[in-house]
Amino acid sequence: MAAGGRQAGPMPDLGRYVVARPIYSEPAFEEENKKRAHLQPTLRERVQGACSCSRKKVFQITKSFLPILEWLPKYRVKEWLVSDIISGVSTGLVATLQGLAFALLVAVPLGYGLYSAFFPLLTYFFLGTSRHLSVGPFPVVSLMVGSVVLNMAPDDKFHIMSSNATGLNKTLIDTASRDAQRVVIASTLTFLVGIIQLVFGALQIGFIVRYLADPLVGGFTTAAAFQVFVSQLKIVLNVSTRNYNGILSIIYTLIEIFQRIGTTNIADLIAGLLTIFVCMVVKEINDRFKHKIPVPIPIEVIVTIVATGISYAADLEKKYNAGIVKTIPRGFLPPEPPAVSMFSEMVAAAFSIAVVAYAIAVSVAKVYATKHDYSIDGNQEFIAYGISNVFAGAFSCFVATTALSRTAVQESTGGKTQVASIISAGIVLIAIVALGKLLEPLQKSVLAAVVIANLKGMFMQVFDVPRLWRQNKADAMIWIFTCVASIILGLDLGLLAGLVFGLLTVVVRVQFPSWGGLGNVPGTDLYKNVKDYKTVVEPEGVKILRFSSPIFYANIDGLKSSLKSTVGFDAIRVHNKRLKALRMIQKLIKKGKLKATKNGISDSGATNEAFESDEDLDDPEDLKIPTKEVEIHVDWNSELPVKVNVPRVPIHSLIFDFGGVSFLDVVAVRTMKMIVKEFERIDVTVYIASHQDNIITKLEQCGFFDDKIRKDIFFLTVHDAVLYIQHEMMHRDIQDPIFEKISLMQESKEPIDFTETGNLDDELDVQEEAMRRLAS
């Protein structure tokens, strides 16, 4: 007796398994295992279920709409409050600076950047499902908003004439009217983006972000980083250029910058370059020593304070004509309604901005949710950002999402919940109410340099391309195409072009899927591609085709082509050639040149003209030669006594492996039905194996089954089908199945009809034509 009371004995071989079970066709398996009938609820039942109300359901809906009710009662004050305060203060300082900097991208006065860093935080605190996101401006989204603003309110619309002391007229720009109009456009666009996001959330279509694949987002954000860099370059150089929009706008901007490079302000250039260098070096230190530094060094804040002090002390504006912030309004503006009349001009851009802003925010949120083991509700995030942008748009803000660097600061400094966001909003509030005046001497080139320094992470995505190329060339092409298109066409058209290109690659991959003929691994129930393995063996007289893709109208031709390549012949051509041979044999028998007996066809002794020209074989006069009724056998794989090259059919069974087929459309069902009947006419039985249950349901709905095509051609696995075929072949009648019985009517004035499946031909022709119309 072994230890623990177990009886000693030989251990089972866990490296092998042996299964003994019946051969399962679909009907046999359903009958034995009592398949359940799934009844779809009626529309009335669905409406009743959706409209039913209970205390529990109301509470669940309220908690899903207000996630704060879920996490705030569980807030650990002693453990989390100090960390949230430290994180909130650090994030608030960064948010203040980034709000000012990103306002440059939107082409609105800098003070409105502070509003955009404040108001969205208030609503997301109650509605958001992420505990670590810091909501506010983001350079890519800000640039997309800025492109709309500059397109609708360019400088050319605000020219005024002014006369100087010499009496000469001079064209000036009415900056006050221009800035006021741009603020209205930006806030109206923000309001419209919020409405679109709210609609998406209400309709539960958060899944739309799935179509923005990682390669597409990577290429788009890299192109956006390049666009941001060019837009901030002219501010660092303090070079005035026209505001270009649309196709090739970035090229025109670069050309004009280099044409006016001689007007560069040296003070702004030096300040900008020093800021970029210092910020990037310190950020690198923060990354490399993040495990040793408890709180990341807020280098942007430090640089801003130092640069403001130097600009104020040296009076850089008057002495060196440096571009400075000048004025930051103190306090808040009253809420204003959106300019609804502008909606029609910006709806297309608003749609793309809404999707991009949501995609960026949810992507970042999922990273931190996975890291800290909680979940994100995509539809609720749409609602949260929608309400945040509607609310912010009323207070003259521009579109909010999340900034990677700001969120990273909030999480790395110990932020646990959205309490840190509220504290950071308090820091921004202080800047709006009290500290804005102190930042007025700050050079704009320093803010632009801060923006450029924060683009490092997006520019580093370029190094993903070689890795993507090695892993998946299609994904690499999506990245490159989206990036180039976004640079050349602009961000809105570039995103659309990248999305269309990405979907096109999916269509191409589905339209030309992988397929192959399968063979059996001897002694197992495994089936592998015969081209990949030397030891696999195809069952005698059986061909197995695996088609690894959904089957629909776009890849029907691919299915037919792969079928012909696998079996080695065209079933329709074989059928037509056999009919032609039979007509020739009939004609020769009637002329007495061949003799038909029960044992087959023999030479009658007369001159055999079977190999004469067969141009007029279908002449009705020739087919009326009277004969007597006999029954003959034709071995189609032997040499025929007529001049017709009938392709050999070396198989008696064909198996489709549908393990990789997730769905069929109507065209695919019709095509499969035609294939089954085409092969039946040449004595090849078609089977389908490894199918999913929804395939049977779809076939039933589309009328696939009839008196001739039944469910018993479906098997649970390929091996079930092979064993069934072998069993049938062993018990088949002695008569060779490849013989075809033909009745030749003698003493009949009617021609012999060898096309008894004429109705099937008509049906196949009609279905083929219908398929062509649907696929075209």
248-290 pLDDT, tens per residue? 888 988 999 999 999 999 999 999 999 999 999 998 898 888 7
pTM as predicted: 0.74
Which SS3 state, helix, strand or coil, does residue 25 take? strand
Contact status, residue 132 vs residue 338, Cβ threshold 8 Å: no
Tell me if residue 719 falls in helix, strand or coil.
helix
Between residues 579 and 405, the one the model is more confident about? 579
> Could you tell me the two tokens for 227?
């666009």
Distances (CA, A) of 704 to 1, 37, 132, 668, 700: 62, 19, 54, 10, 6
| Residue bearing tokens 């400088």 | 155
Cα–Cα distances (Å) from 193 to 46, 196, 338, 372, in that order, read 32, 5, 12, 30
How many residues does this entry show for the chain? 776
3-class DSSP state of 163: strand
As beta bridge partners, residue 654 has 543, 686
Q: Strands, DSSP E only, in 427-470?
A: none
Instruction: Please state, in angstroms and rounded to a whole number, the distance separating the CA atoms of residues 206 and 358.
Output: 9
Predicted pLDDT of residue 436: 79
Mean pLDDT of the 691-711 span:
89
Residue type, 388: S
| Contact by Cβ (8 Å): 494, 488 | yes
How many percent of the chain have pLDDT more than 90? Answer: 33
Is 180 within 8 Å of 335 (Cβ atoms)? Answer: no
Q: How far are the Cα atoms of 200, 493, 556 from residue 353, in angstroms, in the given order? A: 13, 11, 38
Judge whether 108 and 327 are in contact, CB under 8 Å: no
Share of the chain above pLDDT 70, in %: 84
Written as one letter, the residue type at 663 is F
Count Cβ atoms below 10 Å from residue 27 Cβ, excluding itself. Answer: 14
| Terminal Cα-to-Cα distance of the chain (whole angstroms) | 76
Residue 647 backbone dihedrals phi, psi, to 5 degrees:
-60, 140
Q: What angle do CA 209, 214, 216 make, to 5 degrees?
A: 85
Of 629, 642, 699, which is closest to residue 669 (Cα–Cα)?
Answer: 699
pLDDT of residue 408: 81
Encoding tokens for residue 93? 């300082």
Whole-number Å distance between alpha carbons of 136 and 425: 10
Bridge partners of residue 657, in order along the sequence: 546, 689
Phi, psi of 113 (to 5 degrees): -70, -35
- The residue among 630 and 101 whose pLDDT is bigger is 101
pLDDT greater at residue 758 or residue 240 = 240
**For residues 286 and 18, what is the distance between their CA atoms, to the nearest angstrom?**
59
DSSP string covering 490-503: -HHHHHHHHHHHHH
Question: Looking at residues 498-502, what average pLDDT do you find?
Answer: 91
Rounded CA-CA distance 675/677 in Å is 5
Query: Distance (Å, rounded) from C-alpha 271 to C-alpha 661?
Result: 62
Contacting residues for 533 by C-beta, under 8 A, at least 6 apart: 519, 521
* Helix, strand or coil, per DSSP, at residue 653: strand
Distance from chain centroid for Cα 655:
32
pLDDT value, residue 392: 94
What local confidence, expressed as pLDDT, does residue 167 receive? 54
Q: Highest mean pLDDT range out of 102-106, 241-245, 623-627, 631-635?
A: 102-106
Q: Give 3's pLDDT tier (boundaries 50, 70, 90).
A: very low
What is the b/e burial string over 123-132, where b = at least 16 CB atoms within 10 angstroms of the residue's CB? bbbbbbbbbb
- Name the least confident of 74-88, 203-217, 278-292, 714-728: 203-217
CA distance 432 to 92: 12
* Cβ atoms 417, 88 nearer than 8 A: no
Supply the pLDDT for residue 578: 84
551 DSSP assignment? B
Query: What's the one-letter identity of residue 271?
Result: A
Kindly provide the b/e burial profile for residues 265-281, where b requires at least 16 CB atoms within 10 angstroms of the residue's own CB.
bebbbebbebbbebbbe
Q: Is the pLDDT of residue 500 over 60?
A: yes
* pLDDT of 757 over the 50 cut: no
Q: Residue 671's closest CA among 559, 574, 512? A: 559
Degrees to nearest 5, angle at CA 179 with 406 and 229: 45
Confidence of residue 29 (pLDDT cuts 50, 70, 90): confident
Query: Strands 515-520 and 542-547: what pairing?
Result: antiparallel
